[in-house]
Structure 1
Amino acid sequence: MAPEIGLENKQGKLRLRLPRVIADGSLRYIYTGLPDTPENRKKAQVIAWQIEEDIRTGQLDPTLESYKQEFKPKTTVNKREPDLLELWVRFAEYKRPQLAVTTYEKDYIRKIPNHIKQLPAKKLTDAIAIRDYLLVNHSANTAKRVLIHLSACCKWAKDSGLIVHNPFTSMASTIRQPKTEVDIDPFTTAERDAILEAFRQHKPHYFPFVHFLFLTGCRTGEAIGLRWQHVNVDCSQITFCESFDSQLKIRKTTKTGTTRKFPCNQKLRELLLSVRPINSSPDSLVFYSPNGLPIDNGKFTNQVWRGCRSGQKVYKGLVTTLVDEGKVSRYRCPYNTSSPPRQFCWVKCLDINAAFFYVHPWF
């Protein structure tokens, strides 16, 4: 029969007493350091039974250290919780395969990280202060969008075991945005004609490009990225399936991710035929910049369309000049060549035999 381990009270603290066959003198005692309470007696008794079992099976730790360790205070290492920027970097990498390249580069690598870097605090415990800062320093729409992204990031981090709580849950839903009607502001027929005539006279290289925008209503990036492989042999149909991002210098799918078959009327066919090289390569662009490169949307808008100052050089924009001359009522960006909403096909129907879904009030 294995010797029993005694449980004693020594000056209000519990200690274990080992049999003399195991240890002698002061070595017989394991001081638990625990006050003599019913709960602590249960804990000490469990260790005493473990020692008795180890003696019986010949597995006793002769140093007794493993038993003494059971009574020492457990030291917990507080794991530092990652801050918002650290979480966002990992979240962005997780989302990367699921995103369009432009969305990843512009929103996940630039826009949202820049917002986070400007925050006065970046700890998750500062979520309320972060929300208030965004509302004070940005529009309700921007604050709401940033909070939606931060909540998605923290939800992923919680699901991944990186944090225990998502402090941004439902926070964006409490933000009310002012209701505004979409202001569709297309150019009038007279304004369109004035713009085309100005390009014909002063920037003839860009005239076909601008004319194409007005005739098709496509997005600027779709026109810039258009290649001859997207135009059929007789220029009677265009396939819009790609767009070119001038900022990132990359090709991508259209904004909606869909491919559109666009029938060409006679005026559009004549335009395409007039700019198509005799031996055009399918991969060649339909429209180029004056130096033979893809048109840079930013430079075209700033230097040709609107006008700007770059260092000592001043660029007089054609549309801004037309506004000054009273030929265009107010400045609108190139995007307005494609208003109103694109779910309608509203190219100018000069060819009465051409079938279209909708004709813009211009025509």
Structure 2
Amino acid sequence: MQTPTGKKASKGTVSIEEFQGRLRLRWRFEGKRYVLSIGLPDSKVNRKVAQQKATVIELDIASGNFDATLKKYKPHIQTTSQLTVVTLFEKFIESKAKALLPTSLDKYRATLGYLKLVFPNQLASAISVKDAEKFIEWINNRGVSPIVCRERLILIRAAWKWGIKQQFLEINPWIEMVSRVRVPPKQRPKPFSSEEIKAIDLLQKFFVI
């Protein structure tokens, strides 16, 4: 049953709420609080789907068949086993292509080229934090500047974030990778030496009318 926002649901009752534009379920059972993301945007149709899931949980609680691991109730991720790193990023580019300038699109395609070299056939769902770290090591060994490396990682992180939103993936191993690339601060222009300052003063006096 749905309860108003901010109001605690009674024991064994599953409430439906919106969180960051997505629906999720919340309930209490045997002294523990549970939260389960449905992974769907808030709409009338999706709320019916969420209500069906909530009803299943309530019936399991009432009948003593509740799965405390929540595996039984989690939405199944579709096409995960078939989606490679390259395919994921290609789909990501397609979703952004219409809104990108040609110069920005070139950066996306260059990033795709790197992924094809490092992860030609790997599944996107199989990429771990260690794989992401190896990618950084590989890109550094190619002499890529820290600024460019950071740009590539930002795009890859965004692609995985998009993949999770589309329910292609569950985990983003690239979240902390961007912060691991240190970009040196821009060098300030060197100040004029005392001799250069004197020369400038002389030129200014010479050209004063």
TM-score range, shorter chain: 0.3 to 0.5
Using structure 2 for the length normalisation, give the TM-score: 0.44
Using structure 1 for the length normalisation, give the TM-score: 0.27
Higher helix share: 2
Structure with the larger RCO, 1 or 2 (CA within 8 Å, 6+ apart): 2
Larger Rg: 1
